[in-house]
A and B are shown apart, each in its own frame.
Chain A
Amino acid sequence: MTRPVVVLPLVRADDGVWEAQLSPVHGSDDLLARDDLEPARGVRAPVRVAGVVTTLTVFVDDPDHAVVAYDEALPSS
């Protein structure tokens, strides 16, 4: 059984860097689960998460929107 990938939405910040938009999660409706992300589509790009820029695998939807796998962007501390 293949599971959808739970992703964190990204938006293009004013400086051009992808930025994760964190928001309080209330339930399953708040999480995006994508089953259309092909590994070959991923591109390595700098992403700012909670103020820290890290290079991650980004799946671009359009020039201003992208997603990144939750587990890669926000590993459990």
Chain B
Amino acid sequence: MCAHLRGGAENIAMSIVAPPVPGRRPSGWWTANIASSPSSSAAASPAAAAAAASATTSSGPPPRAESSALSTGGARAATGPSSWVGVQATTTTTPWRLRPARSAGFVAVDARGFVPPTPSTISVDPVIAFPRGTAVRARLCGADVDGVVAGFDSKGRAVLDAAGQRRVCAHADLVATGAPTARKSALAALPPGAVVTPPAALGAALDAALDLRVNGSHAAREYVEAFRARGYEVLVVGGGVRDAIRMHATTPGATQQQLLSTLQDVDVVTTAPPTVAREICTQLAPELQDGGVWSPRFVEQFGVVLCGGKKAGQKDSEGLDICAMKRGGSTAEMVVDPDTGERGFPTSFGDDLTLDSRGRDFCCNALYYDPAHGVVVDPTLQGIADAEHALLHPVNGPTAADPGDASIAARFWKFRLRGFSTDGETVAALRHNARAAFQTSTGKQRWTLQNVLGRTAPKDAATGAAVEDWLVELRRVMREDRCGDLFDRAVRGGVREGVIAEVLKRTNKGLASSATTTTTSSASSTGGAA
């Protein structure tokens, strides 16, 4: 417990008053609820949270703070940086660590017996023929290399673990050297408590979301069935699952239609390579150009195939993001692969949801729904509880965020603006990350910040004034987290204008006129313009 007090002084003036339900509450709300909910459970770790999941019956009240982590402000606020001015330190406190348990409506399922679907087609894809764990010998660079199949790359080639090295080889050049390896379900190796059946109403809504039109006249369910027919697993992932769980927890008696309203954006992860995903899309919607796939081939390097929706020129469908399950690998720098001679990002994919979840930002965003088994998957063991209580915890722990990744800090405040809260431990770590994200010393840093903020702004910001309003709110919430000074130093002048331009560019609003007026002068100033 004492360890949790580390940095407690920094915690003094924190003001996280956002309630775990939509809408604002008066300051001091946390304090009041902390005092009035003595029976709530605050587990100290995800594992403990999972263990406590079966014991708690709370689905609505906020989690209790650890009493020893509570502190009162005032003294430091008086001597702190100017950005602390206005922080409600005297009336609110932030627990240093907050790990609530999920509600009892989620019942743990033993997924160890789950198996991946059997291909119904005659020809079996090589990714399925050489499942993960298969011992193989590959002919690479004129030499025989022994290794174990660890997954596949963006083109569906085998990725081998050969004495700790990542090697890439076409399946045609592989020979199995050991006994046949059974295929594993992406859910089979998850920790106990990670796979749960949701409450009935929530489960019905999650399933009904698959009937939404995502590409032309085609529903998401058609894609799920098509992937399974080829032998691949498909799970719904991300914000839709999070928001449905949150509404179920905060709106007792919510109808299926209300829950379904949170699931308008269906993204899926699959055990299929992007090349197969693109092929399935083409076969499933032959009446559409390229099957409605609009993402460039290059994007497959990230495991992503995007089809349908407004960016495909379809006004009446929501679109479907299809992502291969990531197995890690750096995506920051392009490298020349020694085996293929290709320049690209060395990302690997496979069928391990634990690894895929580690590539996501917050626990509440690392939630999956498996329509084949009707279960919700929470690999971090904290995602469901965080979604119910609108809390943010980085998937890889508060201190693991990559300082070079500016997006997690921006996304943190994006969700804070949506009413999400967190604990002092997480804010302290994010503040460290944010210092790097809000650097604007070089043109590249300025562009990166503008780009990141542009991505996190509301998608419906249609005017410069709307973006300005959003920036005011962003500054407010950053000040609450004692990062207002970062905002004030970085988001001003040209950067501020750049953020506005970036947002409007993304929403395709107000561009035509500004672009027309700047093109001539800009083109003439471009040395290489022909």
Contact = CB atoms under 8 A, between A and B. Distances in A.
Given A50-B334, A71-B297, A63 B518 contact: yes
A36 B447 contact: no
Interface string A47-76: 000100001001111111110001100111
B498 interface: yes
Contact of A11 (B323, B444, B455, B530): B444
Contacts of A14: 442-443
Interface string B25-56: 00000000000000000000000000000000
Given A63-B518, A70-B299, A71-B297, A27 B304 contact: yes
A17 B502 CA distance: 20
Interface residues of A, number: 52
Contact of A9 (B302, B451, B525): B451
Nearest to B526: A45
A67 to B, nearest CB: 8
A26 B312 contact: no
B506 interface: yes
Contact of A36 (B289, B299, B448, B512): B512
Nearest to A67: B505
Contact of A45 (B304, B309, B529): B529
Interface string B353-371: 0000000000000000000
B508 A27 contact: no
A28 B443 contact: no
Contact of A43 (B442, B502, B529): B529
Interface residues of B, number: 58
Nearest to A33: B311
B218 to A, nearest CB: 15
Contacts of A17: 528
Most chain B beta-carbon neighbours within 10 Å: one of A11, A12, A13, A75: A11
A9 B505 CA distance: 10
A6 B296 contact: yes
A35 B515 CA distance: 13
Given A33-B311, A76-B297, A77-B342, A3 B304 contact: no
Contact of B515 (A4, A9, A13, A36): A36
A31 B501 contact: no
Most chain B beta-carbon neighbours within 10 Å: one of A9, A22, A25: A25
Given A22-B334, A27-B321, A45-B529, A60 B519 contact: yes
Contacts of B515: 36, 41, 59-61
Nearest to B529: A43
B428 interface: no
B298 interface: yes
Interface string A16-49: 1111011111111111111110000101111000
B255 interface: no
A71 B522 contact: no
B505 A64 contact: no
A59 B522 CA distance: 10
Contacts of A74: 296, 298
Contacts of B294: 3-4, 6, 33
Nearest to B301: A25
A1 B522 contact: no
A54 B312 CA distance: 28
B184 to A, nearest CB: 25
A31 B306 contact: yes
B142 interface: no
B496 to A, nearest CB: 14
Contacts of A33: 294, 310-311, 508
B480 interface: no
B374 interface: no
B302 A24 contact: yes
B527 interface: yes
Interface of A: 1-4, 6, 9, 11-14, 16-19, 21-36, 41, 43-46, 50, 55, 58-66, 70-71, 74-77
Given A12-B443, A24-B345, A32-B506, 17 more contacts: A1-B314, A2-B313, A6-B295, A11-B443, A11-B444, A14-B443, A26-B323, A27-B306, A28-B295, A28-B321, A50-B343, A63-B525, A65-B502, A70-B296, A71-B298, A75-B297, A76-B300
